[in-house]
Amino acid sequence: MSNRKELIEKFERNLNLMREFKILYNFFLDKTNTWDKEAFPDSNITNGQYLEILNQVSEKEYSNEQHEAIKNVFIHEDAINDYITNLEIQYKNLKSLFDEIAIKNENFNK
Protein backbone atom coordinates (compact mmCIF):
# COMPACT_ATOMS: atom_id res chain seq x y z
CA MET A 1 0.00 0.00 0.00
CA SER A 2 1.35 3.43 -0.85
CA ASN A 3 1.88 5.97 1.90
CA ARG A 4 -0.67 8.27 0.30
CA LYS A 5 -3.28 5.52 0.31
CA GLU A 6 -2.48 4.71 3.95
CA LEU A 7 -2.80 8.41 4.81
CA ILE A 8 -6.22 8.62 3.15
CA GLU A 9 -7.46 5.46 4.85
CA LYS A 10 -6.32 6.58 8.29
CA PHE A 11 -7.72 10.06 7.78
CA GLU A 12 -11.11 8.60 6.82
CA ARG A 13 -10.97 6.14 9.74
CA ASN A 14 -10.32 9.00 12.17
CA LEU A 15 -12.99 11.15 10.54
CA ASN A 16 -15.58 8.41 11.04
CA LEU A 17 -14.51 7.76 14.62
CA MET A 18 -14.67 11.49 15.39
CA ARG A 19 -18.22 11.66 14.03
CA GLU A 20 -19.28 8.59 16.01
CA PHE A 21 -17.61 9.85 19.17
CA LYS A 22 -19.30 13.25 19.03
CA ILE A 23 -22.71 11.59 18.61
CA LEU A 24 -22.07 9.14 21.47
CA TYR A 25 -20.64 11.84 23.75
CA ASN A 26 -23.53 14.20 23.05
CA PHE A 27 -26.03 11.40 23.74
CA PHE A 28 -24.23 10.47 26.95
CA LEU A 29 -24.15 14.06 28.20
CA ASP A 30 -27.84 14.48 27.47
CA LYS A 31 -28.70 11.24 29.25
CA THR A 32 -26.55 11.93 32.31
CA ASN A 33 -27.10 15.70 32.32
CA THR A 34 -23.38 16.23 32.90
CA TRP A 35 -22.80 19.08 30.46
CA ASP A 36 -21.50 21.34 33.25
CA LYS A 37 -19.36 18.71 35.00
CA GLU A 38 -15.58 18.58 34.57
CA ALA A 39 -14.60 16.63 31.46
CA PHE A 40 -11.38 15.36 33.03
CA PRO A 41 -9.96 15.21 36.56
CA ASP A 42 -7.94 18.31 37.44
CA SER A 43 -9.53 20.16 34.53
CA ASN A 44 -11.43 23.42 34.34
CA ILE A 45 -13.04 22.32 31.08
CA THR A 46 -16.62 21.13 31.29
CA ASN A 47 -18.02 18.33 29.17
CA GLY A 48 -19.97 20.89 27.14
CA GLN A 49 -16.85 22.96 26.52
CA TYR A 50 -14.90 19.85 25.56
CA LEU A 51 -17.56 18.85 23.03
CA GLU A 52 -17.46 22.36 21.58
CA ILE A 53 -13.65 22.15 21.28
CA LEU A 54 -14.00 18.77 19.56
CA ASN A 55 -16.47 20.29 17.11
CA GLN A 56 -14.14 23.19 16.32
CA VAL A 57 -11.07 20.99 15.93
CA SER A 58 -12.86 18.42 13.78
CA GLU A 59 -14.33 21.12 11.54
CA LYS A 60 -10.80 22.32 10.83
CA GLU A 61 -8.72 19.12 10.86
CA TYR A 62 -11.31 16.89 9.21
CA SER A 63 -12.93 19.36 6.82
CA ASN A 64 -13.89 18.49 3.26
CA GLU A 65 -11.10 20.78 2.09
CA GLN A 66 -8.56 18.90 4.20
CA HIS A 67 -9.92 15.58 2.96
CA GLU A 68 -9.55 16.67 -0.66
CA ALA A 69 -6.08 18.08 0.00
CA ILE A 70 -4.70 14.81 1.33
CA LYS A 71 -6.05 13.10 -1.77
CA ASN A 72 -4.83 15.58 -4.38
CA VAL A 73 -2.23 18.07 -3.15
CA PHE A 74 1.47 17.24 -3.34
CA ILE A 75 2.77 16.32 0.10
CA HIS A 76 6.41 15.46 0.66
CA GLU A 77 6.91 11.82 1.69
CA ASP A 78 8.35 12.79 5.10
CA ALA A 79 5.30 14.95 5.80
CA ILE A 80 3.00 12.08 4.81
CA ASN A 81 4.78 9.79 7.26
CA ASP A 82 4.52 12.40 10.03
CA TYR A 83 0.83 12.89 9.25
CA ILE A 84 0.24 9.12 9.44
CA THR A 85 2.02 8.98 12.81
CA ASN A 86 -0.10 11.84 14.15
CA LEU A 87 -3.29 10.21 12.87
CA GLU A 88 -2.34 7.01 14.69
CA ILE A 89 -1.82 8.91 17.94
CA GLN A 90 -5.12 10.76 17.53
CA TYR A 91 -6.91 7.51 16.77
CA LYS A 92 -5.57 5.72 19.84
CA ASN A 93 -6.48 8.63 22.12
CA LEU A 94 -9.95 9.10 20.67
CA LYS A 95 -10.66 5.36 20.56
CA SER A 96 -9.76 5.11 24.24
CA LEU A 97 -12.19 7.93 25.07
CA PHE A 98 -14.84 6.41 22.82
CA ASP A 99 -14.56 3.03 24.55
CA GLU A 100 -14.67 4.67 27.99
CA ILE A 101 -17.83 6.66 27.16
CA ALA A 102 -19.44 3.61 25.54
CA ILE A 103 -18.88 1.61 28.75
CA LYS A 104 -20.21 4.44 30.92
CA ASN A 105 -23.21 4.66 28.62
CA GLU A 106 -23.89 0.93 28.97
CA ASN A 107 -23.45 1.04 32.75
CA PHE A 108 -25.83 4.00 33.02
CA ASN A 109 -28.53 1.94 31.30
CA LYS A 110 -28.25 -0.90 33.84
Domain boundaries, the chain: 3-109
> Could you give the percent of the chain with pLDDT greater than 90?
89
Q: Which of 63, 76, 58 is nearest to 19 (CA)?
A: 58
Question: What's this model's pTM, rounded to 2 decimal places?
Answer: 0.90
**CB under 8 A, 24+ apart: contacts of 43-52:** 51/22, 51/25, 51/26
pLDDT tens profile 20-69: 999 999 999 999 999 999 998 888 999 999 999 999 999 999 999 999 99
Q: Is the pLDDT of residue 110 over 70?
A: no
The whole-number pLDDT of residue 59 equals: 95
The answer to whether the CB of 31 falls within 8 A of the CB of 108 is: yes
